[in-house]
Amino acid sequence: MGSASGIGSMPGTDVAEAQRIVFGELPTLPHLPELPARGPGADMIGRTAGLLVDLPVELYAGNWRIAGHPGRDLRRTLDLLERDLDQLTEQGDGLTGPVKIQSAGPLTLAAGIDLPIGGRLLRDHGAVRDLAGSLAEGLRTHVADVRRRLPRATVLLQLDEPSLPAVLAGRVPTESGFSAYRAVEAGTAATLLREVVEAVGTPVVVHCCAPDVPLDLVRAAGATAVALDLALVGQLDPLGEAIDAGLGIFAGAAPAVASPGGRPPTSAEVAQRVRRVWDKLGFPARRLAEQVVVTPACGLAGATPAYARAVLTACRDAGRRLHED
């Protein structure tokens, strides 16, 4: 009731400080922050690729690709994640509520990793199925590890799928930029997502901070909630249908970066953005705090540390406002 959370990434390279901020500002639903400024292996694609089972990866010409055997790039990726989890174990000691961890989803991962022979995994739909199976197994182990570290907490898994609309529409460009990879059918994409959702054995939030989030697909995949940017919601009817069906909403209501010379939003402004959309949908006010979690519009890696902290504070207080009102 009246919860707030972050999407994932935070600015800077100090994981201990990032986690202190998250646990301090988001006590009802903290998340494991990601710090991509640390370099390769801390980025969304590399971090998730490190969890794959029997599909080692390496960096080649600045891109992640499937490798013949584990190497130093993979070791560095796993070392960064282990440091993050050690900090989570320390700072989340005694946590009894929910905690959220994040991973790239199978479609975005397929659009971001290269085959050994070149080209994205997306070009080979058989390889995409293998990738989804590998990811499902790796995330099941990852979730179990977090549960062992925080035995009294409830683990939520967020699958980041920013590339999902482009994958479905056949808009992911090839290396040359002159063409695009063949679209993945919605039914196939839902099946791949569902394989991961069912494997991890914990509630899953599908995050997509792009226009045209395929809400029917998210529901078909068995997700508990969807995380989206309210500013990019063009049609309200699909969102209303998803809410009516019981899908939780992680409502991105605060800009992830400040406008030039702009100040962070206040909690009243963030709450009003959420309430305005809710009122247009016509649902009872009492359901708002039950079904909506307030978040920034997207990850905060591009923000200043001061802005990131202020936005998380505004989201936290906005969630309380929506609950109390």
Taking alpha carbons only, the member of 160, 309, 315 closest to residue 227 is 160
Q: Can you tell me the distance from the alpha carbon of 297 to that of 257, in angstroms, rounded to the nearest whole number?
A: 9
Pairing of β 204-207 and β 248-254: unpaired
The pair of structure tokens assigned to 158 is 């967020």
pLDDT per position as a tens digit, 237-282: 999 999 999 999 999 999 999 887 788 999 999 999 999 999 999 9
Residue for token pair 């989030």: 213
pLDDT bucket at 2, cuts 50 / 70 / 90: confident
Residue for token pair 């940017």: 229
> 272: domain CATH number?
3.20.20.210
Is 300 within 8 Å of 310 (Cβ atoms)? no
Q: Can you tell me the distance from the alpha carbon of 154 to that of 246, in angstroms, rounded to the nearest whole number?
A: 20
Enclosing domain of residue 30: 1-13+21-34+224-325
Are residues 114 and 228 part of one domain?
no
Q: Can you tell me the distance from the alpha carbon of 242 to that of 83, in angstroms, rounded to the nearest whole number?
A: 37
> What ranges in 209-249 are assigned the alpha helix state H?
215-220, 236-244
Are residues 177 and 61 part of one domain?
yes
pLDDT per position as a tens digit, 67-87: 999 999 999 999 999 999 999
Are residues 54 and 25 part of one domain?
no
Are residues 306 and 260 part of one domain?
yes
* 132 inside domain: yes
The pair of structure tokens assigned to 95 is 């946590």
Are residues 240 and 122 part of one domain?
no
* 118 inside domain: yes
Given phi > 0 = left and psi -120 to 50 = alpha, else beta, which region is 190? alpha
Question: CB under 8 Å, gap of 24 or more: what pairs does 232-238 form?
Answer: 233/277, 236/277, 236/280, 236/281
Last residue of a domain, one of 171, 189, 223: 223
The pair of structure tokens assigned to 168 is 């479905």
Q: What percent of the chain has pLDDT over 90?
A: 90
Are residues 117 and 154 part of one domain?
yes
Are residues 194 and 157 part of one domain?
yes
pLDDT per position as a tens digit, 271-310: 999 999 999 999 998 899 899 999 999 999 999 999 999 9
* 1 inside domain: yes
Are residues 135 and 100 part of one domain?
yes
Q: Can you tell me the distance from the alpha carbon of 180 to that of 182, in angstroms, rounded to the nearest whole number?
A: 7
Question: CB under 8 Å, gap of 24 or more: what pairs does 60-66 form?
Answer: 60/114, 63/113, 63/114, 64/112, 64/113, 64/114, 65/113, 65/114, 65/115, 65/116, 66/113, 66/114, 66/115, 66/116, 66/121
Number of domains in the chain: 2
DSSP string covering 240-275: HHHHHTT-EEEEEEE-SSPPTTPPPPPHHHHHHHHH
Q: Residue 219: how many CB atoms within 10 A of its CB?
A: 17
- Cα dihedral 221, 226, 230, 232 sign: negative
* 206 inside domain: no
Phi, psi of 13 (to 5 degrees): -130, 0
Last residue of a domain, one of 223, 256, 283: 223
Asked whether residue 325 carries a pLDDT value surpassing 90, the answer given is no
Asked whether residue 178 carries a pLDDT value surpassing 90, the answer given is no
Predicted confidence at residue 29, as pLDDT, reads: 96
Taking alpha carbons only, the member of 281, 280, 265, 240 closest to residue 317 is 265
Are residues 317 and 230 part of one domain?
yes
Pairing of β 63-66 and β 57-60: antiparallel
* 190 inside domain: yes
Mean pLDDT of 156-162: 98
pLDDT per position as a tens digit, 96-129: 999 999 999 999 999 999 999 889 999 999 999 9
Are residues 127 and 168 part of one domain?
yes
Are residues 193 and 88 part of one domain?
yes
Asked whether residue 207 carries a pLDDT value surpassing 80, the answer given is yes
Last residue of a domain, one of 172, 188, 223: 223
Is 308 within 8 Å of 18 (Cβ atoms)? no
Are residues 230 and 141 part of one domain?
no
